[in-house]
Structure 1
Amino acid sequence: MGALLCSDCSHAPEDVPAQPMSDSRGASRPVAPSGASKFLLQVKLFQRLPETELPTLASACEPKTFRSGDKVITEGDVGDAFYIIRSGDASVSVGGKEVAVLKQGDYFGENALLRDEPRTASIVAKSELQTYMISRTKFEEMGLREKLDFPQRKAVAGGAIKELEVKPPSPKTAEERKLMVQALRNNQNLQSCVSLDDKQVAVLVDAAWKETVPIGKELIKEGDLNADYFYIVQSGKFSISVTQTESQAQSANAAQAAAQSLGIVSAGGSFGELALLYFAPRAASVRAVQDSVVWVIDRKTFKSTLAKSAQDTVKDYVGYLDKVQVLAKLKPDEKEAVAKALTEMSFSKSEDVFQQGEAGDAFYILVEGEVAVIKDSTEQTRLKASGKEAPMFGERALLTKEPRIATITVTSETAKALVMDKETFEMILQPLDELNKRGKDAPSAVKKEPAVRPNTGSQKRFGNIERKHLKQLGLLGCGGFGAVELVEHVENGNTYALKALSKGYVVKSGMQQSVMSEKNVQLMCDSPFIVKLFETYNGSQTLYFLLELALGGELYATYNKKGLFGKEPHAKFYLAGVTHAFEHLHSKKIVFRDLKPENLLLNEHGKVKLTDMGLAKVIIGKTYTTCGTPDYFAPELIASTGHTHAVDWWTAGILLFELLSGHPPFESAYPMQIYQKVTKGIHKVAFPPKCRGPAEDLVRCLCKKDPSERLPMKKGGVANIKKHMFYKGFDWQAFQDLTMEPPYKPQVKSKKDMCNFHARKDDLPPQVPYKEDGTGWDKDFATST
């Protein structure tokens, strides 16, 4: 295979998207199908078929020959076939410019066996080109699509609790400082994700420490969980490589073997930047090929440096609050807590912020634009934000929900306000009228954690199912941090999903707080669009969640196996379920942060349910942990500038795009390449035909770079989605009442039927031995024994 890879063309460079191919003027030649077998195992897609199906796949191969100069594929076409090159060369060109050459053993078009995709390149035979071709029609007729395994995309997390080894800063000469500054500036992966100003760069340079690395030492090991540091090379050289797969190791193709060496980093270079953003196993190995010296920067220092700008913003907000009369009696730390919880809201010209007579539930600080104050249809005055002034209105809503005495209408082209509602205020402090009545020496009312509000009567449903009464029946799925099994209650025959987390891996990755948050979030949820929690258990090595069973399968696997990509009624139905689930979560101040088709399940009736609260969190204001699934990362998540529940609406837009097109809009082979595309914005994305019209408009409205401008974040909230043209004619009431007929109903024969799940033990997350550490972090986890 080639050294430059993409998801669907084994020799195309990263900026050439997947290329499903079809033949043009291809001539057949009788070649035994069994000759294809040695090529098939090299294809990533076919490695997900049971080995017993390989002969069936080989028999589907049809020899195709192209003469020199034949155009195999034309840019812009849509294809339905997959090709493996048996002999000969082919040129890959984009816009008339050659970008790669394909040779024997290279393949292209695997995604065409699953879905329609427009060609983004042309391919021409440079010599006589002999290929094996498999058509999508043949692939489906033989039932091979149904037998494919579709592994989940893994989520990544920040590892908030984990204690990193941070060494004291080392002394630095002026030349060393200059080298480090240039290295930080020249690291394109880092610069494309995070905007570092001169002050932030200086702080990182100040904090770095020096280490010597002898020749032969592996500084970074592929798959290592201790992925916490970024390195700048002062002197010496390092090689970067990835492990070959078994099929690659067996290949005689020298170019393929060479592809596993990713390059050399010399003095002035840097590596390990992904570790600065979040916790994830190392993606490659880095070994010193000379005696070397490096500078080291840890994730904690990097994150705190970025958060410093947010702290400066909070100080500005406190300055605004100092001018609010009804908040005059708040203590300094209370005003700071309020400032941190302020959220941004965007408005357009002529839009009403609120209207005279409606109940007040929030107050506003105008930071951009101009508004008119209108009472009894007569304009009273205008308020304008400037560098020095941030006018306020509606502040009495923090005391009472009395009717608004005037209408506030935007008169500038756009406007932006900081908003605080009464409920949020009371979650972080307490009712304002009580604060105003207290004595001067009363203690601060700032709460360390926002109040978690379990469902009324939720405790009554716990403690009824003991783990010893559960019998394991089989593996349902594997996520980034846990595995899920089908279990049966041996006494009453009820079946459930049992999610198991390795306690050692939880501690290793610093996810203790997240796991406890997952339990608390599940306690708060009570929606038919969210998987229900029945019990939690605490074993010596494992934590368990006993969850509602949804035997219809994951939406991701269902879409791939049933060929549902591009079907608008299905996309509407599943996005509607997500919309209701998010509306429920956000009403409780919960942000989900890990939407993707893998985290949507279908029950036996075809109803959709959101699952896996592993990264969900109760948030007041902003939070700064970078976590989620890279394909669905929002810009503010990548930039580490803090995010709110607006991040969920970004992921809803990505989901809609994927359900209609078959792939996420910023898809790339490596996370950093995804982040670079996300940073450029949704306006740079080419929308395929099935994703145009009202669907494209909705995706763009959900994927605004500014979180405050995303459709549900504007006045009207979730109703803005329901009223969008994409949902014209959709019966939202019937959907909410669960009376709408699902567009697809899975086959489920019994409450033990696992036919819609095909998890493999190879995908199990790491099981790390756990030894009680004495902190008691898990003591309140179990609801039953």
Structure 2
Amino acid sequence: MGNACNGCFQKEIIDPSNSTQPISSKPIISFEGVNEETKEPKSSAQRKSKPKIAAVTWQKVKEVNEAVTAVITARPKTAEDIGMINNALNSHFILRNLDEDSQRHIIDQMKHFSVNSGEVITQQGMPGKYFFVLATGRLEVIVNGIRQNMLKPGTSFGELALLDDKPRTATIKSAQKSTLWGVDRMTFKQAVEAVNRMNYEENKLFINSVPIFEILTTQQKEALLASITTQKWDNRQTIVKEGEVGDLFYIIKEGVVTCTKDGVEIRQMVKGDFFGEQALLYNSKRTATITCVGAVKVLCIGRGSLLEALGENLQQVIYRNIQKKAIEKSESLKNLTKDQSQQMMDTMKIAKFSPGEVVVSKNSLQGAKLCIIMKGRVRGPLGVYETFACIGDDKINQTCTQNNIENYVADSEVDIAQISKEEFEKCLGGVVVPATNNNAALVVLKQVQLLRNLPKDRLKALIHVLRIVDFRDGQAIVQENEEGDTLYIVKTGRVNIFKENVKVRTLTIHDYFGERSILFNERRSATVVAEGNVTCWTLEKNDFESIIDFSMRTQLLKRIELQDNTIALDQLVMIKPLGKGMFGNVYLMAHKEKGAFYALKTVPRAKIVAYGIYESLVLERKILLQLDHTMIVKLVKTFKDNKRIYFLMEYVRGIDLFDVLRQLGLLKEDDARFYTACLVVILEYLHKREIIYRDLKPENIMIDEEGYPKLIDFGIAKIVNGRTYTTVGTPHYMAPEVIMGNGYNSAVDWWSLGVMIFEFVFGTVPFGENEEDTYKVYEKVIEHNLVFPTNIKHTLSLKSIITQLLSVKAASRTGGSISKLKKHKFLSGFKWEKLFSRGITPPYVPKLRSLTSEASKAAKSKKNFLDNILRDEISAETPMQPSKSKAQIPANWDEEF
């Protein structure tokens, strides 16, 4: 689930111009004239002025009742009823795009409504709940008290209620006794989800059962599933014909087919069997004819779709995956960096060998080349080598003067990926042994919280100044209260941490200690003692400072400040309110002693109970605790007491991107490229952690005091392994698959990015720009009529990346992977490493006023800020209708806060 709580006021943390705007289904109107924080004039030149739009969330605020006087029954439907409902479904874009199984399932769920004359079915201005098809009778359509139309049998209304609870635009009243077929939103969504979830799980089982797909990664299999289409064939129809060139692969989902060769039946195939796999690997001719025995349903995948989804043809993907696995299994190669492995695989050539052919000659030097077996078996001096095995990996990092003992000979048809020692060393950027040793240290440094966001060139520089120091059992490595200037990283062994002679914890391989000594003039806060023999990498303060510049040091200090989980509520003073939302408030706070600024989000327990949002709060905390990225807002700590829950967050000073765009006007391509690259990095970070953001838009991105983006508001983010089905997000930025409810994954975020890039350079969103009605926006998104303005000239590469990201085929949006997206022509040559060190000049840096005087005044106040929070809560509206009772909320739901 998403979290409506965070969504209500996370924006207000950094955009005081919105400080009085509660979240609702109505648009949030941006402050016009000047920005409250910057006092800079706003310009809308070349960019259409429009309000900020709130996201559609899953959160229910009110119970919705419609057709309250109707008699509702589960009456069986006649063939005539089913035909009429089918016709009605196919008259609406949302419903006609559903597959046949979903439509049938929805019809099964529809109930029979009977109303007398003069009864109200839907009320203008009230939230919608039902979709109706009029079976008999006549209905009046009334707008603002005036009859506008009469509905006859066979017509339908209320389809938008199947997506959300937006207010009805008209009152529908019975002009005579009438009957209707109706389905409510929850039943509709559950029905569509049930069918699609079942199909997805079944299709996944089919995919997992196909041998050629075994080597694919989970992500690649997901792309494969997104590329599947369903076909139905009738009795005696021919699906493939012997001798024809084919490019489709088939899996039988229902029914039986017969396989014939030269007119002779070879076998019959049933559910779960597959045919045509060679079509995905090679552009080959069909070796048999496949004919239906009765009705047949098949899943099919085309070579073209697969190429779009995976970024390469299937054979290349399979071979690349085999190479990766072989490298991971090799003791000699597993420490290669991702870039080195990539370079090596790109350099390797595929060679084919027939049975009995020599693969590696006994007359060649040991380690002269490295081979990875992609297919088949090779017999060598130590036995048989099969797929995933390496030959020569143990010798390629040595200087050898002897030849191989025996020949390595192909035992079957064999495909080998091979690379010479010289090419291999070139890929590593130097001699093998030092390079692989450095890689091990590089892996460790990247795990050190203090250093993980440093650019690669700085990490490599640090490697060269690391020293290795050995300590004997029981030796004190550092002493509590002594001065220190060294960071230690445990290479081997274990160390024990003591505070005032009390053991507090144990550190082991790749853990680190002493990091504050290289950034602050602090004495050691604990004694560290070796348990057994210990080896550490050490980094001296002088070496560290010679490599890390002032800007990077400042960033590191900020991140360390945000990692201080020892802060208590009574150490904070309130400076001012930042925002008020439906579920709670946000305040600007300062640390009494350190003066550091924070944003404190407060959520009253009364509202948690009233709106049933405890699951959202738990999920929000779980997601935010996983995130530590310089371009994502950071959670410092959570608190709780008997009145409320608290989130202590990073305070981000700046302006949201929505307002920045209105000041900059239409972006130049270089500026659009900067923001695009930042968002690609952010999404890559989230998706690696299986987090889908689901509401990417300019309003949810802050431009901080240095001009760099920072993603905020994780109100409807979700951890997803596979697919999810909830309709959430902001309509103009919502991917088609979210609207349709067919199930979606992280690809929806890439769609939203495509919308944003379009908006960056053309000043409008690509679908539904002039529409305010949610239903019409959804309709424009589904229509997918992507048109580039002709009065604004831009490069083909820019239009190409927009077109790719806005593909209706979700699996095609990254071009196969995020690494491939980064290599898109529009982004090629971008200095990705410089983003982390903030070495790229941003398009816009906000001018911010000082908060020193306000902080000083707040520090002198004797008031308890909890009293201010309570006063604000009392003055806020009382929840109208609780959605859940207190008894339904687990007593220990907040135990981790």
2:86 pairs with 1:181: yes
2:191 pairs with 1:286: no
How do residues 300-379 of structure 1 correspond to structure 2 at under 5 angstroms? 300-307=186-193, 308-322=195-209, 345-348=309-312, 352-353=316-317, 354-355=319-320, 358-360=323-325, 376-378=350-352
Q: Which residue of 1 aligns with 2:693?
A: 592
Q: Which residue of 2 aligns with 1:60?
A: none
Q: Distance in 1 between matches of 2:116 and 2:321?
A: 73
How do residues 182-581 of structure 1 correspond to structure 2 at under 5 angstroms? 182-188=87-93, 190-191=95-96, 194-197=97-100, 199-213=101-115, 219-221=121-123, 224=126, 227-234=128-135, 235-239=137-141, 241=143, 265-277=151-163, 279-282=164-167, 284-288=169-173, 290-291=175-176, 292-307=178-193, 308-322=195-209, 345-348=309-312, 352-353=316-317, 354-355=319-320, 358-360=323-325, 376-378=350-352, 461-462=564-565, 464-466=567-569, 469-471=572-574, 473-476=576-579, 484-489=586-591, 493-499=595-601, 512-537=614-639, 543-560=645-662, 562-581=663-682
Q: Distance in 2 between matches of 1:362 and 1:156?
A: 45
Q: Which residue of 2 aligns with 1:674?
A: 777
Q: Distance in 1 between matches of 2:313 and 2:353?
A: 16
Alpha carbons of structure 1 residues 652 and 176: separation in structure 2 relative to 1, 3 Å = same
**Shift in Å, 1:276:** 2.0
**Shift in Å, 1:748:** 0.9
**Shift in Å, 1:379:** 7.6
3-state SS of 1:774 partner: helix
3-state SS of 1:352 partner: helix
Deviations 1:193-215 (A, max 9, x none): x3242x43333222222334566
**Shift in Å, 1:492:** 5.1
Q: Verify the 8 A CA contact 2:571 2:591 in the aligned structure 1.
A: no
Deviations 1:342-380 (A, max 9, x none): 8654344598214487322999xxxxxxxxxx9941288
Q: Which residue of 1 aligns with 2:74?
A: 169
Alpha carbons of structure 1 residues 158 and 586: separation in structure 2 relative to 1, 3 Å = same
3-state SS of 2:310 partner: strand
Q: Verify the 8 A CA contact 1:554 1:599 in the aligned structure 2.
A: yes
Q: Distance in 2 between matches of 1:533 and 1:358?
A: 39
Alpha carbons of structure 1 residues 635 and 325: separation in structure 2 relative to 1, 3 Å = closer
Q: Alignment partner for residue 56 of structure 2, among 152, 156, 163? A: 156
Deviations 1:521-564 (A, max 9, x none): 1111110010001233457786543321222121102222x143
Letter in 2 for 1:359: K
2:658 pairs with 1:773: no
Q: Verify the 8 A CA contact 2:196 2:743 in the aligned structure 1.
A: no
**Shift in Å, 1:298:** 2.2
**Shift in Å, 1:472:** 6.0
Q: Distance in 2 between matches of 1:695 and 1:485?
A: 41
Deviations 1:670-699 (A, max 9, x none): 222222222233545556615553221111
Q: Which residue of 2 aligns with 1:726?
A: 826
> Which structure is higher in RCO with an 8 Å CA cutoff and minimum separation 6?
2
Could you list the runs of 5+ residues in structure 2 that have no partner in the other structure?
Answer: 1-26, 35-41, 67-71, 227-308, 329-347, 356-373, 377-385, 392-413, 418-510, 514-559, 855-872
Q: Distance in 1 between matches of 2:353 and 2:186?
A: 52
**Shift in Å, 1:726:** 2.2
**Shift in Å, 1:117:** 6.8
Alpha carbons of structure 1 residues 179 and 778: separation in structure 2 relative to 1, 3 Å = farther
Letter in 2 for 1:377: A
Q: Verify the 8 A CA contact 2:375 2:415 in the aligned structure 1.
A: no
**Shift in Å, 1:618:** 1.4
Q: Which residue of 2 aligns with 1:16?
A: none
Q: Distance in 2 between matches of 1:518 and 1:160?
A: 17
Q: Distance in 2 between matches of 1:656 and 1:154?
A: 20
Letter in 1 for 2:132: Y
**Shift in Å, 1:743:** 1.6
Q: Distance in 2 between matches of 1:690 and 1:742?
A: 23
Q: Alignment partner for residue 845 of structure 2, among 728, 741, 745? A: 745
Alpha carbons of structure 1 residues 45 and 632: separation in structure 2 relative to 1, 3 Å = closer
Q: Distance in 2 between matches of 1:682 and 1:563?
A: 27
Q: Verify the 8 A CA contact 1:472 1:485 in the aligned structure 2.
A: yes
Q: Distance in 2 between matches of 1:725 and 1:589?
A: 27
More off after superposition, 312-321 vs 645-654: 312-321
Alpha carbons of structure 1 residues 298 and 550: separation in structure 2 relative to 1, 3 Å = same
Alpha carbons of structure 1 residues 48 and 241: separation in structure 2 relative to 1, 3 Å = farther
Alpha carbons of structure 1 residues 348 and 543: separation in structure 2 relative to 1, 3 Å = same
Q: Verify the 8 A CA contact 2:121 2:172 in the aligned structure 1.
A: yes
3-state SS of 2:850 partner: coil
Could you list the runs of 5+ residues in structure 1 that have no partner in the other structure?
Answer: 1-43, 52-110, 119-144, 243-256, 328-335, 364-373, 382-392, 409-454, 755-760
Letter in 1 for 2:86: V
Q: Which residue of 2 aligns with 1:649?
A: 750
Q: Verify the 8 A CA contact 2:115 2:174 in the aligned structure 1.
A: no
Deviations 1:216-241 (A, max 9, x none): 6554456656x443222333314264
Q: Verify the 8 A CA contact 2:576 2:587 in the aligned structure 1.
A: yes
Q: Distance in 2 between matches of 1:343 and 1:751?
A: 52
3-state SS of 1:232 partner: strand
Q: Distance in 2 between matches of 1:753 and 1:657?
A: 42
How do residues 591-670 of structure 1 correspond to structure 2 at under 5 angstroms? 591-667=692-768, 668-670=771-773
Deviations 1:622-647 (A, max 9, x none): 11112111111112212222111111
More off after superposition, 699-708 vs 174-183: 174-183
3-state SS of 1:547 partner: strand
Deviations 1:425-475 (A, max 9, x none): xxxxxxxxxxxxxxxxxxxxxxxxxxxxxx999998446332894526133
Letter in 2 for 1:230: F
Q: Distance in 1 between matches of 2:28 and 2:622?
A: 39
Letter in 1 for 2:351: S
Q: Distance in 2 between matches of 1:380 and 1:280?
A: 66
Q: Distance in 2 between matches of 1:514 and 1:213?
A: 39
Letter in 2 for 1:116: Q
**Shift in Å, 1:290:** 2.7
Q: Which residue of 2 aligns with 1:736?
A: 836
Q: Which residue of 1 aligns with 2:20?
A: none
Q: Which residue of 2 aligns with 1:254?
A: none
**Shift in Å, 1:753:** 10
Give TM-score scaled by structure 2 length. 0.52
Q: Verify the 8 A CA contact 1:465 1:535 in the aligned structure 2.
A: no
Letter in 2 for 1:288: K
Letter in 2 for 1:321: N
Of structures 1 and 2, the larger Rg is shown by 2
Q: Distance in 2 between matches of 1:517 and 1:656?
A: 30
